[in-house]
Structure 1
Amino acid sequence: MAKGLFTQGMCILLREPVSIQDLEERLKAFEIVGRHESIEDDDAPETLVLKYREDVGGHLLVTPSRSRWPDDMGDPDESPERFVAWSLGQFGPLAFPGCLQRAGEQSWGWEEGGQAVAEHTAHIRLLISYVLGTEEIEGEEDDEDIPLVPEDYDAMHEMQFITRAVTELLELPQAICYFNPGGEILRGQNSLRQGLNYAWNHQLPALDMWTNVRIFKADETWSLMDTVGNGQLDLPDLEAVFRTDQFDPADVERFLRNASLYMLTSDEEVEEGDTADGPGEINWMAMECDEALSDPPRATMRWIPQNGSDPPAELLARGEAPDELDEEDDDDEFDEDFLDDDF
């Protein structure tokens, strides 16, 4: 889902449920402006509302849930309420079904991630919104059109603010770890603190705490590596296809991280056909793709090594933009079975 009613979302996985009073105690460094009582969700009956950018109507909404993270995101027929909640972005604006499972399977930066997924029984959701404020919570409505995001929208500031709240909530004795649905990444309290301290000390954005880098084995020769979560900072995710006997995956990961940082800090955009020095001390060429080769669905910039190697056709499939899809013509569709998660 795209940003809309909510612009950022993060989560805390819990060993057991917490009360709204527990949250108020842990978040006392923030200004709490109200509570919202839900009449539709028995597992998450209350939401704590924190002030964020009052000048533009921003709020941080913190909701403790007594149930496990709803990784299937609901079904239109079997669980329509959950499906509608997901479609509105209530599990995070970039969350996609299976995000927690994928995060556990690809938790390279924190080895305990898979175990944490299995152990959690409850969770806390954190969301930023500019249209769901105290007036609506108290039952008042404004007939005027309200923009979903302010004119001076700052995604980086949002990420830093919501991460501050996450670090406070990780102090709860019931907390297992931090989970970012849009970035499909898991981190324990110590792992997150170390990553944030490193970014702070080096004056860098904490990209590796907000986004994941994953690897898939396509066949015996070729692999795919991608980022997931760049959309939180309004950047395209990146993919790289490469022969496993020619490149070290660690070098490819470093290349994708550096490319993401470049896009975040540079005024120049990366476009179709651009080249960059990459792993192997060769040029890699950028390829604009309407569909990623793996979930979640999203447009990406795919990097191809320019060393004379010939990637399989499946790894060069660009997909089609959503408004150009033809349901009767699926010749260009990517075969999901082509990628093997068991790298």
Structure 2
Amino acid sequence: MNVQKLTQKGGPKPVHVQIRDVILDQIRSGVLRPGDRLPSEVEIADRFGVSRMTANKSILALVQDGWLVREKGRGTFVASSPGIVEGQVCRVVVPVDSIGAIGDVYFGTLYWTLQERLQEKSVRIDLRPFHSAPLGESGEAPPAGYIVIDPPESSLPLFADLRLGGRPVVLLGCSWNYPGLSFVDSDNLLGGLMAANHLADLGHRELMFLGGCPSDSNTRERLRGFRIALRARGIDLPERRVVIMDEAWGIDPGTEALLESVLLGPGRPTAVFAAGPKIAFALLGIVHRLGLRCPEDISIVAYDDPDFIRLAYPPMTTVRQPLNQMAFLAADILLEALRLGSTDSRRHILEPEFVLRGTTTVAPSS
């Protein structure tokens, strides 16, 4: 086993991670082959010029990740199928409580698809909400890797640190352009463009954007795409017609009162882009309650296409995200990172689909 005598202490990665990476490179390049015996921890510590404890930490990480196996009385060997351990645990982190995530249309679809894909490779999921420390409880073995669904921007430095510690991290359902972190998302900007162009093609000039979670990358990109398309068509979207609530789970009472005054007032919008399915469903209920007709008086385009929104009356026109494809791709990126021992970033943005149904029609004549 050829090793480097010196490592960069104080560099971007801890010394034990640097040693781990050197050994990994030799496994991946074929210098160390399945079944090869590694030098003892004392020999590794001497060759790298580190303590035995540091060498032990590097070896334990490789054993835990499935690259090495230890045989009592014989030593440490390269695993026969390096990189994937049966029963290995990956952590899925969500911004809501765990039970709520499983039952939610958006998070639940992503979670169950992730579970299906990872279980095919005998990898187990540990589901945690953000308010539970992603590093786990004191003394708890860290997971092999992380898939983080729709994280707040403020959490990204934490997950970047986990990546530097040798744990692959994949962000899912967001497109934060943070150095070193992989992500998989749908093209939210394109979705906003699709909604705006469809409504403009129908002759709508008085439009409104209704969204939730102002700090969310998805909301920002959907609004940005909506504005870009309208501006290109010479259509103004005044700030008073942009309403972004704190949450995306429906319409809060204050916003409901605002919408009532806007929809019944002079110069009301003739079309609304609702940047979430629950928001769109609640908006449709308000329209009906006010005695307005959809789509004759108000056209609505929703972002996302869960089953319940297809059962609305009239059936909802939507921009559909490829949620299952997104989750499968995120799982495959994580599995490949585990197999290769890599934390290199990969970024994928998938195209949404416009689904025309019954909540949009030509703009009413003035």
TM-score by length of 1: 0.30
Larger Rg computed on CA atoms = 2
Between structures 1 and 2, the one with greater strand share: 1
Between structures 1 and 2, the one with greater helix share: 2
TM-score by length of 2: 0.29
